[in-house]
Amino acid sequence: MNRITQKLQEDKKILSIYFSAGYPNLNDTVPIIQDLEKNGVDLIEIGLPFSDPLADGPTIQASSTQALHNGMTTQILFDQLKNIRESVKIPLIIMGYFNPMLQYGIEEFCKKCAEIGIDGLIIPDLPVDVYADEYKVIFEKYGLINVFLITPQTSEERIRFIDSVSNGFIYMVSSASVTGSQAGFGFGNTQESYFERIAQMDLKNPQIVGFGISNKETFNQATKYAKGAIIGSAFIKHLSENGSGKIAEFVGEIR
């Protein structure tokens, strides 16, 4: 069974952390993953840096740019992760844009992910219809879960189609914006009602909320109706200010 599927079956709210591979320093990727697991994180999204990250806010864009300047590439990430399963047991997802995967070769990329123990992919710019028609068979051949995003503007018909072709969780974007915390404030009534509306659709795949989660308050708000929440920009800011040395402190404040 895929590690993501196993994790989602646990009777707990999932804390997922996103960071850009190769940030703050090129060789920080594996130590950060190991520290996050050691401190109780349930799932990790490893950002594959890209020069034109459409869905990302300024914090993640800056970390992605720095990682590229540090020399991070798809092949270097795979090389860094080749022995990751000797020390890390929790689910690992690569989040990145379609172009670098296409350049690497989709089947080769999926094969490499399977070899090193990656459990799934999040590809914001891969339309679900294209995935279902052209790539689903390849992903399933290598045991990879592909995670799709929905927003408050996504139609019910589209959400139900995404649910039908998904076999892990649905990434529920909290608002129609780029990544980043909402100026330190909690979620408003509009977002709360959106979370509740999706929960009432009784989808077969659980939802994990991303965008705008930065602290214990927003984590608890996001997980009131959903299975878990993803923290990205706030964690990258923490890395920017503290390096990779105070991860326990960051996670402790969320949980």
pLDDT for the residue numbered 255 = 85
Under a CB-based contact definition with an 8 Å cutoff, are residues 13 and 41 in contact? no
Q: Tell me which residues are annotated as active site.
A: 45, 56
- Helix, strand and coil content of the chain, in percent to the nearest 5, comes to 50, 15, 40
Per-residue confidence in pLDDT tens, the chain, 255 aa: 999 999 999 999 999 999 999 999 999 999 999 999 999 999 999 999 988 756 567 889 899 999 999 999 999 999 999 999 999 999 999 999 999 999 999 999 999 999 999 999 999 999 999 999 999 999 999 999 999 999 999 999 999 999 999 999 999 999 865 555 444 457 888 999 999 999 999 999 999 999 999 999 999 999 999 999 999 999 999 999 998 889 999 999 998
Strand order in the sheet with 43-47: 145-147, 120-122, 92-95, 43-47, 14-20, 228-231, 207-210, 170-173, 149-150
Q: What is the DSSP letter of 184?
A: T
